[in-house]
Structure 1
Amino acid sequence: KERLKEELRISVVDADTREPLNARLSFEVDGDYWAPEGVNEHGIRFTSIHKSKQQRFTVIYALITGPLRIPYPKGAESIKITASRGFEYISDSIEIDLEERSASAAIPIDRWSNLRDSGWAAIEEHLHYDRLNSADDRHWLAMLDADGLDAGHFMILKGGMVPGIWSRQFAFGEAGRSNDERQWLIPSQEYRASAKGHINLLGTSKIIEPYSTGGMGWPKVVENYPPLHDVLKEAQNQGGYAGVAHGGSLGKQPTAIADAVLGRVDFWEISNGFIYELDTWYRLMNCGYFLPPMAGTDLPNWPYRDAWQPFLGSIRTYVHKGGSTEFDAFKQAINRGRVFTSSGPLIDLEINGQPIGESINLAEPGFVRVTGNLRSPRPLREIELIRNGQPVDVSVLKQNSSGIHTWSIDTNLKIEESSWIALSGLGSRINVQNIDATAHTNAIRVIVNDEPIRSPETAREFIEALQGRKNFYREKGAYKTEHQRLQALEIFDRAIRELEKRL
């Protein structure tokens, strides 16, 4: 290793107010990515490690408490430093020639959006890191703030990165939550079944055992029991909110559709960045089952970031909770459906002046006015109006003002039958992850003549799929007793009966 020379002193400030900011910093030394070996008390150096996938990434944060001091390699000629703070500040870079033994710099970054002032909050819904001591929570709270987040769910689980239990939390329920004036840390759980899929249990008061089934993790529980339906119900009874993880895409024979039809799912996780699954969510809405979308990173999976990206919440959920800073306001906002997800661009939609998550009633078929926009300081690639899962051809106004790209739609859309409408968009390519930046609103429902939103064709497809999965668990499911098997099969029967009502 090269011997380190003198230090570099860095701070980040708001370009308008000159107030210091918590922010993420990325470094290039002589054109190559670099992470300093240490920081002083005014910074955080955090290395994310996924042991089994051998994924490792180090992030640096500058704090508002004073200048961050870091060493740099001997012989370096220049250093490029990029500061970022979530999606509502424009990341900016400076380059310093390292001719002196030490140098100082304050990096100003511009705020281009302030959703918090409009009642919105940003949630990192899916994290897997240990919180073993409440004294360390001040660091997590600072990291959330530096990445432009208001809340982070830290989910305990079993298996995957290591065989046993990991992402341990020092306590559950209110005793395990930490907060300051703005940010919340919430202990939660990802419960997993190798056949049935994964579910996220947010804000529960205690751990629901056995953590995982179907042979996942150690010690193994080989049975396909208890049903995820029962686990979701227990999470709801504890006052948490329970949802399907990874878009329902994991599991050999997933039960997510049945669980949603029976009312045991509060939200549908559509993205972890590296996973972006919309199909089943769309089809559930076509059958009249409306679940707010959520998104979170699933860190420490795929921790790599471009310099402009936040580390925590590189894919996140925005909820409109008004001015309340209480934890329950997050849950209430999700239940109301005032939700959108983003990994970069900000997105909005209104129909007849009504916001995301609302319902509009028409006495007869007619026109509604649909307005929406996609905004970002980085180039945009696509904006798409979606009705009942299908794109609608509309004109798009593309503008660029002071470096902010805005793509807007404003159209009168004819509604012949009860429908749901949402808006989605794509931003710039995220190079290090080789994926597109995305944004998606929750749906707005337009109800015509009090007729429910229905798709008999989709309902039949769901029934056929559930019959096949019921057969799988009847013939190949692992259960200790026949009573357990019959209990699991009865859940499919109930879901099928509910879907038959929608034919």
Structure 2
Amino acid sequence: MHQASQTLTVVLFQFFLIIGLALPVPLLAQQPASGRLEVQVTDATTNQLTPVRVRLSRNGWAVKKLPKAAVGVMYGVWDHADGYDYQPDSSYYVAGQFSLDLPPGTYQLSLAKGPEYLEQKHQLQIEAGQVQQQNYQLKRWINMPEKGWYSADDHIHIRRSPREDSLLLTWTQAEDVHVGVMLRMGDFWEAYYPQYAWGEKGVYQKNDYLLTSGQEDPRTPELGHALGIGASDKVRFGKEYYYYDKVFDKLRELGGLGGYAHQAETFHGYRGLTLDGLRGKVDVLELLQFCASDKPLITNHYYHLLDLGIPVTAVAGSDFPWCGNDHATGPPERSARLGNVRFYTYVDGPLTYNSWKAGLAAGHTFVSNGPMLSFEVNGQLPGSKLPVSKGTTLHITAHAYGNAAQVPLQSLEIVGHGKVLGRVSISDAGQSTEHLSLTLDIPAEQGIWLAARAYGNPTQAAHTTPVYVQVDGKNFHNPATAPQYLKLSEGYLKELKKDLKNRQADPQYRAWQYRAGLERRIAETQQVIKGMKKQLR
């Protein structure tokens, strides 16, 4: 009987092969080669599906199999098609659920949604022929929108048309970035990452998340990279490319704000910041970013302008897909990521494009890549001008909020005129890795700018825009440091002027072609410096 059964099996096997039909499973007695993973992710507060960043790995290596639910948008440096579904760290975005067939084995699943949510890591065992259904809830450790503060990334380089809006919004929602500013980028020759519309016409919004258009243009190696946010149109003067002030003036005319990217640290941005900042052309400065250093907070050029009595609003942006906190060259968790730094704006009422712009124009901001800040001087928010009479008590309160596992606070400082006026750390009584608080009462003897900054782990920091205290109608500049900052300003201008005398062979360096116009602007700035010196006498 056994031999007859084997003969029948062979005959049937040949028969099914000849007629092209699938073999009956009971005859083959094969085991399934894979199992199935089905995942749903909801927000613990709303119980609704929520966009999320997913990374699936096995034995430390990312699984190179993408679920159909992964949301793809073309991106890349210089507007090239370097990526689509996968992010630089091999993660991807889904709108809240996905399924995937996987070979049997042990897998690691990471779920994340920006710094306000607790990241989750799970180990999964996939069995052949079995469906594993997993439902996860993402929990917040802090809810900044409930406090009126909404996050923004001012530096995202992705081309956009109306067709991509809903997909891109899923990306920003997955990182919990409430305002994503898509930057058209330019250089001397052309522009990249086109945007289809500007101002209110370029806004795409669902609930309290929105996308808007901005620009990083002009960009030169001699003067730095300029930012434009919130204008009703793009601004570019191709034949006068090195005259940044014309761009900043036009941006303001169009209802926008202008300033400098990359903390004015790279591409000689400190020269442009000096040239335009001292003449009152600069509104914002990117204070937090991972392009120049693995330490994201660089304040020296910011404090330079502040101590000269020039108000500048602190903003921050990822410069995606260019910059990670090791310049996108290290392990996956340190690669370029949308929203890896951000700034928060206080919005009075519901979040709209115009209410956000109003909060930004008022300077009600702080920058962060983890620690959350609350800061007031006599009840006034960051960015406020506070006129007082001499001797008035300045009541300063600062709070930093963190999470022991994800954002372990280390210290909180109140800074005035660049000096630490008060500091607490986790070793002080009543302080912890999750909450640091500091209160100071000081007399208003002279004008001063006051700000708060906080630090978490070695790559986590936060800093507010200052409150500008004006005593008896006088400015908030720092008489003690202004002379040295004016001397430094003169040094930067001399550095630029020297460059203008040398015709460069490298075609990227074109400042020498604009020598006459730039020298006029340098002369104007030197006159401003002379006026400031007279005021200090």
TM-score (norm 1): 0.84
SS in 2 for 1:89: coil
Asked whether the equivalents of residues 243 and 517 of structure 2 are also in contact (C-alpha less than 8 Å), the reply is no
Structure 2 match to 1:237? 253
- Greater helix share, structure number: 2
On the 8 A contact 1:49/1:57 being kept in 2, the answer is no
Where do residues 123-272 of structure 1 align in structure 2 (5 Å cutoff)?
Answer: 123-131=152-160, 133-158=161-186, 165-191=191-217, 192-209=219-236, 225-252=241-268, 254-272=271-289
Q: CA deviation at 1:11?
A: 1.5
Q: Deviations over 1:259-288 (max 9, x none)?
A: 112221111111223433211111211111
Distance between the aligned counterparts of 1:14 and 1:404, measured in 2?
25
Q: Given that residues 147 and 310 in structure 1 are in contact (C-alpha distance below 8 angstroms), is that contact kept between their aligned partners in structure 2?
A: no
Aligned to 2:16: none
Gaps of 5+ in 2: 1-31, 504-510
**Distance in 1 separating the partners of 2:232 and 2:424:** 48
Summarize the Cα distance change of 1:37–1:83 in structure 2 as closer, same or farther, 3 Å threshold.
same
> Which one of 62, 71, 81 corresponds to residue 94 of structure 2?
62
Q: Alpha-carbon deviation of 1:173?
A: 4.0
**Cα deviation 1:87-130 (Å, max 9, x = unaligned):** 22211222211124432211112122222122221111001112
Aligned match of 1:499:
532
1:29 corresponds, among 16, 33, 58, to 58
Structure 1 or 2, whichever has the larger Rg, is: 2
Match of 1:385 among 402, 405, 414: 414
Q: Distance in 1 between matches of 2:514 and 2:420?
A: 48
Cα deviation code 1:317-366 (max 9, x no counterpart):
10012224331222211121110000111111122333222244443336
Deviation (angstroms), 1:473: 5.8
> Structure 1 residues 264, 150: CA separation in 2 closer, same or farther (over 3 Å shift)?
same
Separation of aligned partners in 2, 1:380 and 1:492: 41
Change (3 A) 1:45 1:284: same
Ranges in structure 1 where 5+ consecutive residues have no aligned partner: 212-220, 430-435
Q: What TM-score, normalized to structure 2?
A: 0.79
Question: Of the candidates 117, 121, 125, which is equivalent to residue 97 of structure 1?
Answer: 125
Larger RCO of the pair (alpha carbons < 8 Å, separation 6+): 1
Distance 1:242 1:4 in 2: 58
Counterpart CA distance in 2 for 1:147 and 1:29 is 24
Q: Distance in 1 between matches of 2:282 and 2:261?
A: 10
Does the 8 A contact of 1:372 with 1:408 survive in 2? yes
1:278-427 to 2 correspondences below 5 Å: 278-303=299-324, 311-365=337-391, 367-377=393-403, 378-396=407-425, 405-427=434-456
Matched-pair contact (CA < 8 Å) for 1:396–1:408: no
CA contact (8 A) 1:78 1:96 kept: yes
The equivalent of 1:442 in structure 2 is 465
Structure 2 CA distance for aligned equivalents of residues 150 and 265 of structure 1: 25
Would the alpha carbon gap of residues 406 and 35 (structure 1) be closer, same or farther in structure 2, given more than 3 Å must change? farther
Amino acid at match of 2:179: A
- Measure the CA separation in 2 of the matches of 1:415 and 1:390: 16
Contact 1:400/1:406 (8 A) holds in 2:
no
Q: Is the 8 A contact 1:48 1:58 kept in 2?
A: no
1:433 paired residue number: none
Residues 244, 269 of structure 1: 8 Å contact kept: yes
Cα distance in 1 for partners of 2:389, 2:43 equals 50
Change over 3 Å in CA distance of 1:486–1:308 after alignment to 2: closer
CA contact (8 A) 2:271 2:492 kept: no
Contact kept in structure 2, 1:244 and 1:267, CA below 8 Å:
yes
Compare the two structures and name the one with the higher strand fraction. 1
Cα deviation, 1:390-413, whole Å, max 9, x if unaligned, reads: 122444567999x97112112333
- The Cα of 1:249 is off from its aligned counterpart by 1.6
8 Å CA contact 1:387, 1:420 repeated in 2: yes
Instruction: Answer yes or no: is the 8 Å Cα contact 2:309–2:475 preserved in 1.
Output: yes
Q: Is the 8 A contact 1:297 1:312 kept in 2?
A: yes
C-alpha displacement of 1:190: 0.7
1:382 is displaced (CA, Å) by 2.4
Q: SS of 2:355's equivalent? A: helix
Kindly, what percent of the aligned residue pairs are identical? Answer: 19
- Aligned-residue Cα RMSD (Å) equals 3.3
- Distance in 2 of aligned mates of 1:283 and 1:410: 26
Distance in structure 1 (CA, Å) of the matches to 2:74 and 2:55: 13
